[in-house]
Amino acid sequence: MTNKYELFAPCHFGLEAVLKREIIDLGYEVTEVVDGRVSFEGDEEAIARCNVFLRTTERVMLKVGSFKAVTFDELFEKTKALPWENFIPKDGKFWVKKASSIKSKLFSPSDIQRIVKKAIVDRLSGKYNILRFPEDGSEYPIRITILKDEVTVGLDTSGESLHKRGYRRLTVKAPITETLAAALISLTPWKKDRLLIDPFCGSGTIPIEAALIGLNIAPGMKRDFQAMAWDNILPKSLFKEAKKEAEDLIDRETKLSIQGYDLDTSALDAARGNLSLAGLEGNIHFQQRDMRDISSAKKYGFIITNPPYGERLEEKEAMPQLYREMGKAFQKLDEWSYYIITGFEDAPKYFGRKPDKNRKIYNGMMKTYFYSYQGAKPPRQRAGQ
């Protein structure tokens, strides 16, 4: 017999529509979309499949309950009223891994964590008729989000953040996360038969995520998840089955044409190391090259890139010149499309062209802009060509 669960997945503010589409494509019904979070219904199999297949969320949460609370007494009583015994066994190790509060009366994370833990202990003491918990079994990390006094309580089925695919051991300064890179690529019409260049590739995250998408390789195939140890909720075999499904869906025929440039040799060493760990050699070519020297005889290609933001003062002063040079360099590529994520608000002014679209995305606490410059579409091939 399968149980129906309420699940939810957090994402970067501004990317909810991308994650919603992913969840629907996996076959699950989305029940709510709020800033930075998509909720949906699913069974035990959904917990395994969403952890293996979702590209644009940091984790898959199993919702234990939600309620309104404006006092700590209310938080305690309403947390205690939730059916914790359905989720945490007698020997389970449980703690509140993280509490966050936005625009709410209860705002002290450490107090929220302490009171929620106490409430769960109270509930389970009564249910299991024990005063001290051994906590020597499987781990059940709990996360609490309070938004406008509405408390959401969830169990973290993922464990280590899902942006950790297992291939990125080496990073450089200011890397973009794998989940954000995958979401940006999904916001473009790039397809696996089109050339893609990242002229500021750093440790290679955008090119590698593009290759995973192009070859239909699920992001969670090479890693484990917290819920694999929860045999009281779901059998571990469901994760094995989800990975087998993912294996069967890989496109083993297509050879991609993806390139990454950087001036920094240590960044390129990291990118090549990550490429090897991802098992994608032959699909991406990394080279030391100045962005100003970008060129291609091919038409209808794509640039998707995360150039320097100019966060430090001396870097900020260099931004106008950098974006001027980018505008000139990209212009040389006939009929190409460019997609640029940046925290530099004035980028289009210096780039020399107004974007066709501008999407605001919060990268952590930093407001960034994803500027879309759409090039011509390639002519449609007639049947038989």
pLDDT tens for residues 59-89? 999 999 999 999 999 999 999 999 999 999 9
- The model's pTM: 0.95
- Equal fold, 5-156 vs 178-220+253-373: no
The mean pLDDT value for 178-205 works out to: 96
CATH code of the region 178-220+253-373: 3.40.50.150
Our CA dihedral for 80, 86, 89, 90, rounded to 10 degrees, sits at 50
**Positions of E strands within 167-308:** 196-198, 258-262, 284-288, 302-305
186 vs 18: CA distance, rounded Å: 7
DSSP reduced 3-state for 140? strand
pLDDT tens for residues 300-345? 999 999 998 766 656 778 899 999 999 999 999 989 999 999 999 8
Please report, for the chain, the start and end positions of each structural domain, with discontinuous segments joined by +: 5-156, 178-220+253-373
Topology given in CATH for the domain delimited by 5-156: VC0802-like (3.30.2130)
Record the tokens describing residue 380, joined without a space: 């449609």
β pairing state of 150-156 and 139-147: antiparallel
pLDDT tens for residues 334-376? 899 999 999 998 999 999 999 999 999 998 788 999 999 999 9
91 vs 343: CA distance, rounded Å: 47
